[in-house]
Structure 1
């Protein structure tokens, strides 16, 4: 226990910021003012009180999470644990992140997805932020039949790692606008894996690719594949079909 606490203390960065005039009359004015002094583009997406008196849990528009004093003068980045007698360590940071992801995955932009349905009875559903050029995204997709056969529905959201406007972004847009979206996406991943030329682009259409990408950044996705379980837990990386079923608790 001493080692864990010592490591936590040594990784926490404490920064002092001069208090600026109160320019908003909202509940969290001082916190918002403090963020603006760091970077005018930095915004709080969500602010919650923590069990630690006077400390607030702040989710930023960058997807990062920090903890701030009520007056905005101090903040630290890291993981907050609660250590109550008889309960052991509780990772409050991950609890908050899971809750936020769960809410984010219920939003309208998270409902516009590529769906690869379970075979037979649907026993579970996973949401996967994916890219066409990512090796482990391609590897996961090659196991789609096995995953679906286990009763797992796969819901794909676009996350072009090269960013908005990149070639991989355009392929994902094309996949959404194609007549058969699932077939186009499957072929796009296969062609990328085999270093083949891209398919012909279909007629442009309204698509959720940018919204997916922004959503991924908001919930802390920084690589692909990124799997979000129905509980809100985020798993960065690839798992084989059977290991994925075990992680869900099906095997």
Structure 2
């Protein structure tokens, strides 16, 4: 009976503690949203082990606050001894996607070598950093690239992407546009590219810039990386 009583007491303690934590987090959410400006939506509030700070998730990003939501801490929490970036890890975790859920039929497929390694890239034909990334891909083999034409930079991005999509060989045409600046012929009337679907997908995934690279494990890298950086990242993907 004593053991049962002890276990019951522990259960009550943990239930009370959990309820108190949930109340605190709900209160912080209520307090902080109006202070973040019109339209700001807090996805969640979690207590961290870092000096009493609370993690606030907003649109795929992370900031920190105190228990009274009076102060905001905008930046990264890094272990001073190991230099482990806890903020980066959390952002990667909350922005992960299920790669198999991406509508790959709306992307241009480019296969190099055996194509065993896989990435998906959201990019714009007028994006200089995207073109730089394609130059880097020339030094990477045995990879399949799914290029989503995420036209957000210029009014003529849609037309350029449509011409590529509607060409006889979209993979070749896209590579020529991004690596050599060679534009394909104008698309035939009536050919429809998945521009609006990709745009909606990118907005859903909270992609704010190009290129944004997704890996098979669901993690992403915003911005261009060189061949060495890509190889290093691919080597960590299971």
TM over 0.5: yes
Matches within 5 A, 1:84-233: 88-101=82-95, 103-106=96-99, 108-109=101-102, 111=104, 112-120=106-114, 122=116, 124-141=117-134, 147=140, 150-162=141-153, 166-172=155-161, 175=164, 181-186=170-175, 188-189=177-178, 193-194=181-182, 199-200=186-187, 202-204=190-192, 206=194, 207-215=196-204, 218=206, 222=209, 224-230=210-216, 232=219
1:37 and 2:16 correspond: no
Conserved? CA contact 1:115–1:155, under 8 Å: yes
Once residues 27 and 192 of structure 2 are traced to their aligned partners in structure 1, the CA distance between those partners, rounded to angstroms, is 43
Instruction: Give the structure-2-normalised TM-score.
Output: 0.65
Identify unmatched segments of 5+ residues in structure 1: 1-24
Shift in CA distance, 142/51, structure 1 to aligned 2, threshold 3 Å:
same
1:245 and 2:234 correspond: no
What is residue 13 of structure 1 aligned with on the other side? Answer: none
The structural deviation recorded for 1:94 is: 0.8
Q: C-alpha deviations, 1:191-214, integer Å up to 9, x for none?
A: 8x25x5873365335553213432
Once residues 72 and 138 of structure 1 are traced to their aligned partners in structure 2, the CA distance between those partners, rounded to angstroms, is 43
Q: C-alpha deviations, 1:1-36, integer Å up to 9, x for none?
A: xxxxxxxxxxxxxxxxxxxxxxxx996353244223
Shift in CA distance, 91/190, structure 1 to aligned 2, threshold 3 Å:
closer
Q: Aligned Cα RMSD in Å?
A: 3.8
Identify unmatched segments of 5+ residues in structure 2: 1-22
Conserved? CA contact 1:31–1:68, under 8 Å: no
